[in-house]
Amino acid sequence: MASHRRPKQPSRTRVTVLTTAAAAAVALSSQAANAAPSEKPSKDEVKAKVDKLYQEAEQATEKYNGAKEKQEKLQKEISTIQDNVARGQEELNELRDGLGSMASAQYRSGGIDPSLQLFLSADPDDYLDKASTLDQLSGQQVEALKKIQTKQRDLSQQRSEATEKLKDLASTRTELGKKKKEVQGKLSSAQKLLNSLTAQEKAALQAEEQRSTRSSERQVLSGTGTPASGRAAAAFAAAQSKIGTPYVYGATGPSSFDCSGLTSWAYAQAGVGIPRTSEAQTGAGTRISSMSDLQVGDLVFFFNDLHHVGLYAGNGQVLHAPRTGTVVRYESMGTIGGPFMFGVRV
């Protein structure tokens, strides 16, 4: 007869563990069911993030412009020094040839002139200092020796200066590359955010910008702004001729501009040279603290670090190259995205 054994009961510990695990699974399932799906950022939230990235890109752009300007200046200085060294070496060779000719003539007439020993000396400077006291040297030879000594020292100093500038140039090129990479990174991030918008949202943002631009144009046309000077009027007219031209970071015209590229180009058309970067342009003239004292053509600066500049257009409006994705246009000074700091009358 078969025996009937009672099934083995699970231990109390095992029951507790299983119960706890089951409860946790139920709780997680409940949370997952009740959790709201991650919400897509709204059009306005995307715009705010994009605007911030564009501001950061423009900050980096002005640093990039400064490094680029420094690089170009260093390259010109190095080229000038190298040309001077080359000419100086030719002059030194001519001086040595002349002295050598005098020494050869004396040798042929009997005896080695002390000046000839200059070319055999391990320490020319020391020899020159001693030789200048020798009675055997003619006045003409002494003068030639002194010129050689001076020219050698000048060339040595110029070569040292060129070496230091070449080091500075290498450092500047490294900085330029970093800033360019930073700008491109910010712009890439902004584009990704814009790509997340629907076609309808993109159209709405574009329509908002167009309405703002048309409003600013009406304000300029209805204003009674007086140019700060004839040169300011000419610069402003030059900038007006570029309305609709695209913004491109690092560009100075005539087919594209960044903010300081537009202002420096506009004043150049008026025959006035001003610095390349927005920060440097703050020293291009007389500072105007009050917005009410601004006149058409004055430079106007925004943000605490002065990374944005435009031309005052009258009636509270600015003519500027705003940022990537836009064109040269009029805009209310109150919608730039950063505070007006001051103006400069060139």
Q: Which of 68, 179, 308, 345 is catalytic?
A: 308
Location of structure tokens 């590359």 = 177
Active-site annotation holder among 183, 259, 294, 328 = 259
Question: What are the angstrom distances between the C-alpha of 182 and each of 64, 186, 187, 247, 303?
Answer: 9, 6, 9, 17, 19
The yes-or-no answer on residue 320 being catalytic is yes
Measured CA to CA, the distance from residue 107 to residue 303 in angstroms comes to 77
Radius of gyration of the chain (CA): 37
* Amino acid identity at 130: K
From 242, 320, 329, 345, active-site residue: 320
Contact 183, 60 (CB under 8 A): yes
Residue 286: φ, ψ to 5°: -85, 130
Residues 55-75, buried b or exposed e (16+ Cβ, 10 A)? bbbbbbbbbbbbbbebbeebe
- 259 classed as catalytic: yes
Contacts of 176 (CB under 8 A, 6+ apart): 64, 67, 68, 71
The token pair that represents 144 in the structure block: 């030639």
Cite the active site residues. 259, 308, 320
